[in-house]
Chain A
Amino acid sequence: MSVHLILFLAFGAVAVAGAINLLAQTHPINSALSLIAVMAALAGEYLLLGAEFVAAVQVIVYAGAIMVLFVFVIMLLNAGVEERTKGSRVAILFGVPGMLLGSLLVTWVVLRYSGTEAVPAGALPGAPRTIGTLLFHEFLLPFEITSILILVAIMGAVVLASKPPTVAPGAPIRRVD
Chain B
Amino acid sequence: MIIPALFQAIPQGVDYVRILPELVLSAFGIVVMVLDPVIEETDSHKTLGLIALAGAVAGLVSTWYMSGFPGLAFSNEVRVDTFSVYFHFLIIAIAAVIILSSFEYMAVQRIRAGEYYALVLFGTVGMVLMSSAVELVLIFIALEISSIATYILAGFRRNDASSSESSLKYFLLGSFATAFFLYGVALIFGATGSTNIDKITQTLQNRPAPVLLYVAMALMFVGLGFKVAAAPFHIWTPDVYEGAPAPVVGFMSTAPKAAAFAVLLRVVYVINAPGRFWFLWVAAALSMTLGNIGALVQTNVKRLLAYSSIAHAGYILVAFAMTTSENSSVGISAVMFYTAAYAAMNVGAFVVVSHFGNAGERYVTLEDYEGLGRTSPILAATLTLFLLSLIGIPITGGFFAKFYVFSAALKANLIWLTIIGVLNSAIGAYYYLRIIVVMYMREARTEIPVMRISAGLALALVISVFATLYLGILPNQVLKRAQQSAQDLLAQPAPDPESPAQPPVAVTQHY
Contact = CB atoms under 8 A, between A and B. Distances in A.
Nearest to A170: B359
B135 A152 contact: no
Nearest to B144: A149
B510 A130 contact: yes
A84 interface: no
Given A173-B108, A173-B449, A153 B148 contact: yes
B482 interface: no
Contact of A130 (B358, B452, B507): B507
Interface stretch (A55-63, A71-79, A157-165): A157-165
Interface stretch (A9-17, A29-37, A135-143): A135-143
A145 B139 CA distance: 11
Contacts of A155: 33, 115, 118-119, 122, 152
B72 to A, nearest CB: 11
Interface string B139-166: 0011011001101100110110000100
Contact of B148 (A130, A134, A137, A156): A156
A127 B476 CA distance: 55
Nearest to A90: B235
B441 interface: no
Interface residues of B, number: 68
A138 B502 contact: yes
Contacts, number: 147
A145 B159 contact: no
A146 to B, nearest CB: 6
Given A133-B507, A152-B119, A173-B451, A142 B9 contact: no
Interface in A113-150: 113-114, 124-125, 130, 133-134, 136-142, 145-146, 148-149
Contact of B110 (A106, A110, A165): A165
A160 B152 contact: yes
Given A130-B510, A158-B115, A173-B451, A152 B149 contact: yes
A151 interface: yes
A87 interface: no
Give the one of A152, A155, A160, A167 with max B CB within 10 A.
A152
B211 A109 contact: yes
A44 to B, nearest CB: 20
B167 to A, nearest CB: 7
Contacts of B452: 175-177
B275 interface: no
A59 B159 CA distance: 38
B26 A169 contact: no
B122 A148 contact: yes
Taking chain A's interface residues, is the majority helix, strand, or loop, or is none over half, making it mixed? Answer: helix
Interface in B196-216: 210-212, 215
B123 to A, nearest CB: 7
A30 B212 CA distance: 36
A153 B33 CA distance: 13
A137 B8 CA distance: 9
B411 interface: no
B172 interface: no
B137 A125 contact: no
A77 B149 CA distance: 24
A139 B76 CA distance: 10
A170 B107 CA distance: 10
A3 to B, nearest CB: 22
A168 interface: yes
B18 to A, nearest CB: 10
Given A142-B77, A169-B360, A133 B2 contact: yes
B159 A138 contact: no
Given A113-B210, A133-B2, A151-B122, A164 B158 contact: yes
Contacts of B78: 141
Interface in B73-113: 73-75, 77-78, 108-110, 112
A89 interface: no
B174 interface: no
A164 B156 contact: no
Contacts of A145: 22, 125, 129, 138, 141-142, 145
B126 interface: yes
A157 B152 CA distance: 8
Nearest to B155: A160
B141 A149 contact: yes
B511 interface: yes
Closest 9 CB pairs of A and B: A156-B152, A164-B158, A141-B74, A169-B359, A137-B9, A174-B449, A113-B211, A138-B75, A172-B449
Interface of A: 105-106, 109-110, 112-114, 124-125, 130, 133-134, 136-142, 145-146, 148-149, 151-153, 155-156, 158-160, 164-165, 167-177
29 contacts: A109-B211, A114-B190, A139-B75, A139-B77, A139-B137, A141-B11, A141-B19, A141-B75, A141-B77, A142-B77, A142-B141, A145-B125, A145-B138, A145-B142, A149-B126, A149-B145, A152-B119, A152-B123, A152-B148, A156-B148, A158-B115, A160-B155, A160-B158, A168-B110, A168-B159, A169-B110, A170-B108, A171-B359, A172-B358
Given A142-B137, A155-B118, A174-B450, 7 more contacts: A130-B510, A138-B75, A139-B77, A141-B19, A142-B138, A160-B152, A160-B164
